[in-house]
Every structure is written in structure tokens, then in C-alpha cells.
Amino acid sequence: MGLSYLVLGVVAGLAAIERKGFLQAMLSRPIALAPMTGWALGDPHGGLLVAPPLELLWLGAVNLGAALPVHEALGTVAITGGAVLAGRALGVGVSPEVAILAVLLCAPLAHLGRVADRFVELWNDRLAVRAEAALAGGDARAAVRWNLHGLVAPFAVAALLAPAGAALAAVVIPAFLRAVPGATGPLRLGFFAFAALAAASGAKALRAREAPRFFYGALGGALAAGLLIGGVLS
């Protein structure tokens, strides 16, 4: 179990670096990160269940100028890790009811991550000052190397917070579902309601011209097509 938290910490830390400090190739976005986190914990299907709603929920989490978005990578690792570990403790894997409880418990971590990012930026101010001092001392190479030191703080913040959130979920979710077994059905419905809201959040984040027409039109059209195909097949 301890190894699982270590793995979660490393995955969260690397994702936090990829998210802003290095590359930005979508590997730290929920759609890729949740299945990778699940895979790292031995349950890729668990990660696959939460990936689409989390991606859509945080589709608008982008770093525009000096504005800080929520830390969607931290939230994703905590939610996926918590769901996988709770599902393992229950012996059922990640089900919709486990997933929605993990979301409700761990999603605020994404907001806490944004607060932590503010402190990381202040920490980086010191690195810039040190780089200027090294350059004034005549050591150009040492001056620019301070840039890489900026990767340490985001790694550390995510590597500590994500396993903490997952640990909370891994304790609370099995205890709750064992104490209230009748909650399974309502929680399952809650998961689909959350996923539907996440899709709406994605549409809103895109800010396209005539977005309501596209969103409601696609929703209605795809629903009609799905019902038609379902009716024909049955």
C-alpha cells in the first residue's frame, strides 16, 4: 500500500512539471493522466472511467498570462488514486459510486493546488534574483541553471498533496459504502449527473460563437441518433 502512495506522488509530481514547467504535451491533462494514474496503480479501467468527465469539467483550466487556473493535474491524480485504492479496498474496482465519492472528496484539492501555485511563483522570484546575482558574479552558466530549480517546488507540492487526498478517499469511501450499502444506487445516478454537468462545463469553457446552438443541437441530435440506433438494435 505504501508503494501505491509513492507511485501516486511521483506521477503527480511529474504531471505538475509537465503541466507548466516542461513540454505541455497534454500528458498532464485529465484525459491522459487519469488512465496513466490508474495504470500505474494497476487499474487502467478505473482511470478510464473518471478521465472523460474530469477532462470536460476542467476543459477551461488554462494558464492565460499571469492568471492561475485550478490545478487539474493534482485534482486528477488525487481523484483517480483515491477511487482506485478505495475500489481495491472494497474488492469491486472503480465503479461509478466509488468514482463520484472520490470526486466529491478530492476535487477541492485542485483549488488548493492553485493557492500553492501562487507560492511557487513567489519562490521562483527568489530563483530569478539568485540568477541575476550569479550573472553579476560572472558565472553565466550557473545563472541560467537556476531555471531548472524551478521544477522542484511544483513537483514537491503535487507529490505531497495528491497522495494525501487519495489516502483520505481510500479511508472514507470504503467506510461509507460499508456503513450505508443502500447509497450505491443514488450515488451511481449522482455520477451520471456529474458527468453530464462536466460536459456542459466543457462547452461553456470553449466560448465559441453561437455555442448554445452547437451544444444543445449536438446533444439533441446525438440523443435522437442514440435512441434510434438503440430502438433498431432492440
Partner 1 sequence: MSPARVPPRTLARVFWRCLFLQAAWNRRGMQNLGFAYAIEPALAALYPEPGRRREALERHLQFFNCHPFMAAAIVGGAIHHEERVAAGEEPPGAAIRYKTTLQGPLAALGDGFFWTALRPFCGALGAAGALVVGVPAIVAAVLLYNVIHFSLRLGLFRAAYRGGDAVVPVIARLGLPLAADRLRAAGVALCGVAAAIVVLRGAGAAGAAAGIVAALVAGTGYAALVRGARLLPTAYVAALAGIAVAVAGHLHWSS
Residues in region 163-222 near partner 1 by CB under 8 A: 182-183, 185-212, 214-222
Write down the least CB distance from residue 23 to partner 1, Å.
5
Write down the least CB distance from residue 10 to partner 1, Å.
18
| Closer of 109 and 167 to partner 1 (Cβ) | 109
Write down the least CB distance from residue 193 to partner 1, Å.
3
Q: How far is CA 46 from the centre of its chain?
A: 14
Alpha helices (H) along the chain: 2-16, 30-40, 44-57, 72-90, 96-106, 108-136, 140-149, 152-179, 184-206, 211-233
Write down the least CB distance from residue 34 to partner 1, Å.
9
Write down the least CB distance from residue 49 to partner 1, Å.
10
Binding of partner 1 at residue 42 (CB under 8 A)?
no
CB 113 within 8 A of CB 74: yes
Q: List the one residue from 7, 22, 90, 171 that touches partner 1 (CB under 8 A).
A: 22
| Closer of 105 and 166 to partner 1 (Cβ) | 105
Half-sphere exposure of 194 (CA within 13 A, CB side): 24
Q: What are the grid coordinates assigned to 41, written together?
A: 496503480
| Closer of 5 and 190 to partner 1 (Cβ) | 190
Q: List the one residue from 63, 115, 119, 178 that touches partner 1 (CB under 8 A).
A: 63
Helix (H, G, I), strand (E, B) or coil at 149: helix
The angle at the Cα of 36, spanning 52 to 215, to the nearest 5 degrees, equals 15
CB 176 within 8 A of CB 97: no
| Closer of 53 and 81 to partner 1 (Cβ) | 53
Write down the least CB distance from residue 45 to partner 1, Å.
9
Binding-residue pattern over the window 95 to 124 for partner 1, x denoting contact by CB under 8 A: -x---x--xx--xx--x---------xx-x
Measured distance CA(103)–CA(117) in Å, rounded = 21
Q: What are the grid coordinates assigned to 21, written together?
A: 514547467
| Closer of 6 and 133 to partner 1 (Cβ) | 133
CB 131 within 8 A of CB 119: no
